[in-house]
Structure 1
Amino acid sequence: MPAIVLIGAQWGDEGKGKATDLLGSRVDYVVKFNGGNNAGHTVVVGDEKYALHLLPSGILSPGVTPVIANGVVVDIEVLFHELEALSARGVDVSKLLVSANAHVITGYHRTLDRVTERFLGKRQIGTTGRGIGPTYADKINRVGIRMQDIFDENILRQKVEGALEQKNHLLVKVYNRRAIEVNEIVDELLGYAERLRPMVVDTGLELNRALDAGQTVLFEGGQATMLDVDHGTYPFVTSSNATAGGASTGSGVAPNRIDRVIAVVKAYTTRVGAGPFPTELHDEWGEFLRSRGFEFGTTTGRPRRTGWYDAPIARYSARVNGVTDFVLTKLDVLTGLEKIPVCVAYEVDGVRVDEVPVSQSDFHHAKPIYEEFEGWAEDITGARAFDDLPPAAQDYVLALEQMSGSRISAIGVGPDRDAIVVRHDLLT
């Protein structure tokens, strides 16, 4: 049975929750391996809409064991808020497992995130202010707090004291903020200990044993390829590895155990926050995509920047991640357009460039080179087979497939759970 990685191929918000849900009934574990509650998945089940931020989307699939692995940073208050909200709606959350090695977001991380971003002024990165970056920074600086530390008061206190010794100088002397008390943080975290204890385990061991037993494990990435701290549009990126390689380091499952890499890509392009975006639209077509696609952040509510499909980005994602299958989402949003432009390359300083430039400066100044495709007027939300799509929609999908570096195995044609066309089995 396979280990499958599911990641975003653009700048996030591609609809990974829908793709996870498509696979949910056929997998045993769904693992979140990176990020924190700065990511948002919206999953529609019947008449119910669920907005998830920290929890893996697989928590909505009966029988699936959801896992928050070691590569995730956890805001414990948010964790319990989401669990309680789902429980109140009748969702069974009792099987959730959390890695003992996952790092904890504290109050001082959130404070530092907000004041640092404001201090940057025009150079702001566009963080969500939820403490994600500072927590990852502490992890790399080896002054972080892990879930397992909450069960040992002495170790927890030592670590908080060590972290605040430096951070309070920064808050008081640079940002003119009040110092944070050690007891304030320690008492808050200790208050969660007994509720956390049943779910905190060695998740790497659990997942490897599951694969040894022939069970199917799905690794669900937060954010997306172009937001990866190493491979994205740095510095306008997240603080973790959102690409397929992050699934191994973020979970403790070796790369040679991964069988398939599924990348989710929208039929157009969006991003939230600052940074380069070659196909961005500032006209009525950008507003058309935003309003028709309801492009507002699940976590932040911020309007998303919108633009046409960018084939070089899809090819880049296919290469960086080793994509075996694409899931193309929100094709229905394009219904009604007479012509649909697709970015097939860039122009940089008068020269055609067919791949994503390695230079941030070049990418920032890249101008899209478009090819236009015929649109369609027919409602496609009821399509369940590829042949149900209008010929122009089929041609559009096949053209994107040819440009993007891997097969398009499934196509989202509407917001409903079953509004999807499957061309190839994602597990074979």
Structure 2
Amino acid sequence: MNAGRVIIGANYGDEGKGLFTDYFASQDPENSLVVRFNGGAQAGHTVVTPDGRRHVFSHFGSGSFVGAPTFLSKFFIVNPLIFVREISDLHKLGVKPNITIDGDAMLTTPYDMFINQTTERRRGTKRHGSCGLGINETVTRSLRSPALKLRAREMLNPTLLFQKLIELKTSWFAERLKEFNIDPHSEDSAIFFEKSESILKEFVTDTQTLLEFTSISKCYPNAKHIIFEGAQGLMLDEDRIDQFPHVTRSKTGLTNVLHLAPKFRLDKLNVTYVSRTYLTRHGAGPLDGECDWVFPDSTNVPNQFQGTLRFAPLDLQTLQKSIKCDLLRAQTARNHICADIAMTCLDQVPMPKVGELFLPVNHVCHGPTRAAVRPALSCAER
């Protein structure tokens, strides 16, 4: 059987998906490929190398430190502005990642980010928990009409891309402001309209910088080891009605992976659901058992859209329910599924009693790097 590895966050994100992607990629980096199968620039997957280098991965797979290339699938949302910043940061760390983008991947525009940030600020205490990077707006625009959708392959023609962006100013942006009852003559809107042409020109410039470091392709890269790196977590899946509207606009579990697996000729999927030994949530929304715990976290810093990182004890019943619901989606799939759980942050909160879980905890991590990962062999950890 040709087997692929899948890394999925089991909670609200920030579980340690980057750490375990780095861990599995490091076992055979020359023959590994990391596939991003959901989300976009709002992902923040922290990897700390044993030699002390640190990066929060957004567009690039978390196997980049060890040299594993990245493939951004058609389910990924590309943000050229964030990409350019990130590639610069990686170069400063001595990392020159190899990255391929599916030509059908969606593109986030400055319009999407402006509307997202404006509406989230206006919600006040009723915020949805957005990162302010335009993810929901990108998907909404793309689904509204084929004429409004921008794909990664359109970056290959910068002149035509700029023309489409100008057209979106009236065909989408102005209309979307009306939908949200945002005054186009307000100070923020007026400034954006006034500077829109220069903003769009800079955006197109960013797309061309992006193309210097990537390739756009409809062909799926080949590798011995395919590692699917998920973003966010099962509790934020767009279909989690019990969490709405505090969800993300993507499929955070197996759904997209099951669509992509045949493209890589995979018969089996080894799925690892990652969880800290406690719960975190960065952004608005329910968090059962929320308490005043505070643990150091230099990735999830306070910001105007998500506020501060929140904490709660891990509820094993909720964890189990979320994983079971995700695995139900794979019942009719042709792929053989083998699933387990990985626990992180044992250096901060002891391992809970996981004997009641229906899946084994096969890996644990006692620190921030892959060097702290080990098999969970003791009875206390099983």
Deviation at 1:249, TM superposition (A): 4.8
Tell me: CA distance 1:197–1:7, structure 2 relative to 1, closer, same or farther (3 Å).
same
Q: What pairs up with 1:231-310 in 2 under 5 angstroms? A: 231=240, 233-249=243-259, 253=263, 257-281=267-291, 286-287=292-293, 290-291=294-295, 293-294=296-297, 297=300, 300=303, 302-310=307-315
> Take 1:252 and 1:156, find their aligned partners in 2: how far apart are those partners?
32
Q: What pairs up with 1:80-91 in 2 under 5 angstroms? A: 80-91=84-95
Task: Tell whether 2:173 aligns with 1:167.
Answer: yes
Deviation at 1:34, TM superposition (A): 1.3
Contact 1:296 1:304 in 2 (8 A): no
Counterpart amino acid of 2:275? V
Structure 1 residue ranges, 4+ long, deviating more than 3 angstroms after superposition = 169-173, 179-186, 192-198, 248-258, 293-296, 298-302
> Take 1:5 and 1:78, find their aligned partners in 2: how far apart are those partners?
25
Q: What pairs up with 1:126-275 in 2 under 5 angstroms? A: 126-141=129-144, 142=146, 143-153=148-158, 155-165=160-170, 166-171=172-177, 174-175=182-183, 176=186, 177-178=189-190, 180=193, 183-184=197-198, 186-197=200-211, 199-202=214-217, 205-207=219-221, 210=222, 215-231=224-240, 233-249=243-259, 253=263, 257-275=267-285
The corresponding residue for 1:326 is 341
> Take 2:347 and 2:244, find their aligned partners in 1: how far apart are those partners?
32
Q: Deviations over 1:103-124 (max 9, x none)?
A: 1111111110011112323321
Q: Deviations over 1:172-226 (max 9, x none)?
A: 77333226377445523432454344623225x324xx26xxx111110111100
Tell me: CA distance 1:106–1:299, structure 2 relative to 1, closer, same or farther (3 Å).
farther
Tell me: CA distance 1:169–1:245, structure 2 relative to 1, closer, same or farther (3 Å).
closer
Deviation at 1:404, TM superposition (A): 2.9
> Take 1:299 and 1:218, find their aligned partners in 2: how far apart are those partners?
31
Tell me: CA distance 1:54–1:252, structure 2 relative to 1, closer, same or farther (3 Å).
farther
The corresponding residue for 2:9 is 8
- The SS at the match of 1:264 is strand
Task: Tell whether 2:100 aligns with 1:97.
Answer: yes
Deviation at 1:299, TM superposition (A): 9.0
Which of these residues, 25, 35, 43, is aligned with residue 31 of structure 1? 35
Question: Which residues of structure 2 form unaligned runs of 5+?
Answer: 328-337, 378-382
Deviation at 1:258, TM superposition (A): 4.7
- The SS at the match of 1:327 is strand
Deviation at 1:270, TM superposition (A): 1.0
Contact 1:318 1:404 in 2 (8 A): no
> Take 1:129 and 1:252, find their aligned partners in 2: how far apart are those partners?
34
The corresponding residue for 1:49 is 54
> Take 1:411 and 1:144, find their aligned partners in 2: how far apart are those partners?
42
The corresponding residue for 1:350 is none
Tell me: CA distance 1:225–1:302, structure 2 relative to 1, closer, same or farther (3 Å).
same
- The SS at the match of 2:274 is strand
Contact 1:296 1:303 in 2 (8 A): no
Q: What pairs up with 1:341-356 in 2 under 5 angstroms? A: none
Deviation at 1:325, TM superposition (A): 1.1
Contact 1:42 1:298 in 2 (8 A): no
Percent identity between the two aligned chains: 24
Contact 2:4 2:270 in 1 (8 A): yes
Contact 1:160 1:185 in 2 (8 A): no
Contact 1:160 1:182 in 2 (8 A): no
Q: Deviations over 1:333-360 (max 9, x none)?
A: 125xxxxxxxxxxxxxxxxxxxxxxxxx
Q: For the aligned residues, what is the CA RMSD?
A: 2.7
Contact 1:36 1:132 in 2 (8 A): yes
Aligned residues: 347
> Take 2:129 and 2:253, find their aligned partners in 1: how far apart are those partners?
20
Q: Which has the larger radius of gyration?
A: 1
Q: Deviations over 1:220-246 (max 9, x none)?
A: 011110011013612101111111112
> Take 1:329 and 1:81, find their aligned partners in 2: how far apart are those partners?
29
Tell me: CA distance 1:197–1:257, structure 2 relative to 1, closer, same or farther (3 Å).
farther
Tell me: CA distance 1:319–1:254, structure 2 relative to 1, closer, same or farther (3 Å).
farther
Contact 2:107 2:151 in 1 (8 A): yes
TM-score (norm 2): 0.82
The corresponding residue for 1:357 is none
Counterpart amino acid of 2:40? G
Tell me: CA distance 1:11–1:415, structure 2 relative to 1, closer, same or farther (3 Å).
same
Counterpart amino acid of 1:92? K
> Take 2:10 and 2:44, find their aligned partners in 1: how far apart are those partners?
15
TM-score (norm 1): 0.74
Deviation at 1:158, TM superposition (A): 4.9
Counterpart amino acid of 1:191? T
Tell me: CA distance 1:168–1:252, structure 2 relative to 1, closer, same or farther (3 Å).
farther
> Take 1:44 and 1:219, find their aligned partners in 2: how far apart are those partners?
19
Counterpart amino acid of 2:14? D
The corresponding residue for 1:412 is 365
- The SS at the match of 2:18 is helix
